Amino acid sequence: MAILVADVGITLAHFASHKGAPLWRLHAVHHSVTRMYGFNGLMKHPLHQAVETVAGTAPLLLIGLQMDVAALLGFSAAIQVMLQHANIDMRIGSLVQFWAVAPGHRHHHLASKSDGDVNFGLFTTLTDRLLGTFVTGRPTPRDGEIGVAGAPDYPQAYLRQLTEPFRS
């Protein structure tokens, strides 16, 4: 149950990060890569990570989230983001309709605002389906087709990326 609650909160925060400029500037760090790889799922601006963590865990904390459940949720989220961003030929068949892993999430990283504002879900496609942002059946994006739309010179060094959201 904790995974489903966290999934909705994190997915909504992720969706909002693509719609509002202040959150997008923080979230763009995550989208700056031009090639998918597992650890990209963990590469985020710390302030954006805090936003998503609060969105996903606040409801759980309010109902008395137990420490062992919180630990398993954190572990599950870390594994899941690596599965989502893995650059492997993951053949999951009809599970792509429900489980938000690489075959579906790759489309989210397209360097095109119109084509990439899809498949925001962390664990499931449930919230995407409710938002009308779930897509499947597209050709698999290739290296070079992902990144930050309109910013081909986005900084690649992480320390520079940490300051990028605050530049004018």
Give the pLDDT score at 34: 85
Tell me if 157 is assigned to some domain.
no
Residue where the block lists tokens 């759980």: 60
Rounded to the nearest 5 percent, the helix, strand and coil shares of the chain are 60, 0, 35
- Which residues in the chain belong to E strands, given as ranges? none
What's the pLDDT at 59? 97
The domain in which residue 105 lies consists of 2-149
- Residue 156: inside a domain, yes or no? no
Give the separation between CA 118 and CA 108, rounded to whole angstroms. 5
How far, in Å, CA of 92 to CA of 82, rounded?
16
- Count of CB atoms situated within 10 Å of the CB of 32: 19
Please tell me the predicted confidence (pLDDT) of residue 95: 93
pLDDT score at 48: 97
Determine contact, residues 65/23, Cβ cutoff 8 Å: no
Q: 121 with 11: CB under 8 angstroms?
A: yes
The reply to whether 159 falls in a domain is no
Residue type, 97: Q
Q: Taking the CB of residue 102, how many other CB atoms lie within 10 A of it?
A: 21
CA 6 to chain centroid:
13
- Per-residue pLDDT tens over the stretch 15-47: 999 999 999 999 999 999 888 888 888 899 999
Residue owning tokens 């489309």: 107
- Segment 147-154 mean pLDDT: 86
Instruction: Give how many domains the chain has, as a whole number.
Output: 1
pTM of the predicted model as reported, rounded to 2 decimal places: 0.93
Query: To which H or E segment does residue 29 belong?
Result: helix 21-31
Q: pLDDT digit string (tens) for 81-94?
A: 999 999 888 889 99
